Amino acid sequence: MEERYTRTYAEKLDAEDTLRSFRNEFYLENEYVYMDGNSLGLMSKRAEQSVYDLLASWKKHAIDGWTQGENAWYYLSESLGEKMAVLVGAQKEEVVVTGSTTVNLHQLVSTFYKPKGSKTKILADALNFPSDIYALKAQLKLKGYDESHLIQVQSEDGHILDEETIIDAMTEEIALIVLPSVLYRSGQILDMEKLTTAAHERGIKIGFDLCHSIGAVPHQLHDWDVDFAFWCTYKHLNGGPGSVAALYVNEKHFGAVPGLAGWFSSNKEKQFDMEHTLTAAGNAGAFQIGTPHVLSTAPLIGALELFHEAGIEKIREKSLQLTAYMVELIEHELKEFDFEICNPVNEKQRGGHIYLEHPEAARICKALKRKKVIPDFRKPSGIRLAPVALYNSFTDVYECIQTLKNIMEEKAYEQFSNEREVVS
């Protein structure tokens, strides 16, 4: 066997890894190889501590915790947005931590979707996560339009979107565009700069769902002139289950009336004047709606520290090394077992996970879990494997593929039904 396909080689890569110390910041079950960080990131010790710290501020300050303590709650959404801005290439005032992914999408579409004349349609894609499509259809209905006004660009192979096809669909009927930055199945990264330029040349506003890119891929939203973006914080950002989401609004749109206004849309200096006419914040804070979910925001205080220390460029560099190594092992070790790698070949188009398809995918995932490797199943035949730069090692990747090989050789998956679990 060639050295590069051995555990010794994986351990050598780990020894050369400049980010290896960050693994010690996370709670890792010793027996498990966790490859599902693109669904739910692991808990870091700092995220845990920041939750305890917020609880302590509640205990100590009671209502005065809104303005007192190290992380005063009244300003927490904006201060965390400022810390997160570097991860998306935004100005500090352009990001705020608030809401959930879908609530933020509703807010942004209700703000920026302005149908007029023949310009009434929303452009999206056929491969996007269902929640985004549900929200877009709901927004159309609220404006009095049916689903025929949602144009979804199709994929020729069911995995990859062609950017020129997307641009061709930017017709005079399109009023707004909403696309993913990284496709949740195939991991394809769309060229956000190219698509934004094309949209603006046609007088169309454009926004992106960053759920599968934030924390794994660098962005330059401000320089690319993206109009808006939104994302969750529990995947690569490791904010915990249901942690508060975030949104970006380009500063050129500051002053736009939020489509879904609420108390926390207010200018903070005016909020407690209790006036019935909204004086909106002059930054991304205007697109908040309700009172911040402070305890669900707390883990981000500690989690984001790790990204500032590691640096998103170094995280991306290691992520590409991990996924390239995984692809190499898959092609060498699993070539007899009918797996199809559905990611883009070009690493510049590859996000932070590998997507495999196999007819027995559901039962293979169950077999992997039995062997203490945690994958992610996507109906009908997809297996997602996400080696995360901050806590996964090259040895993890080696162990994952070796375990998968053993399962296929022994046909250990046959003892399981080929149906998804309730949560997959």
Annotated binding site for pyridoxal 5'-phosphate: 101-102, 129-132, 209, 212, 234, 263, 291
Are the beta carbons of 398 and 10 closer than 8 angstroms? yes
Burial annotation 103-123 (CB, 10 A radius, 16+ → b, else e): bbbbbbbbbbbebeeeebbbb
DSSP state of 254: T
Rg of the Cα atoms in the chain: 22
**Residue 334: what residue type?**
L
Neighbours of 156 (CB within 10 A): 9
Query: What are the start-end ranges of the E strands in 101-204?
Result: 121-125, 150-153, 174-180
- CA–CA distances in Å: residue 197 to residues 140, 150, 223, 330, 365: 25, 21, 11, 37, 41
Binding-site residues, please?
A: 101-102, 129-132, 209, 212, 234, 263, 291
C-alpha angle with apex 210: 380 to 112, nearest 5 degrees? 110
Neighbours of 228 (CB within 10 A): 27
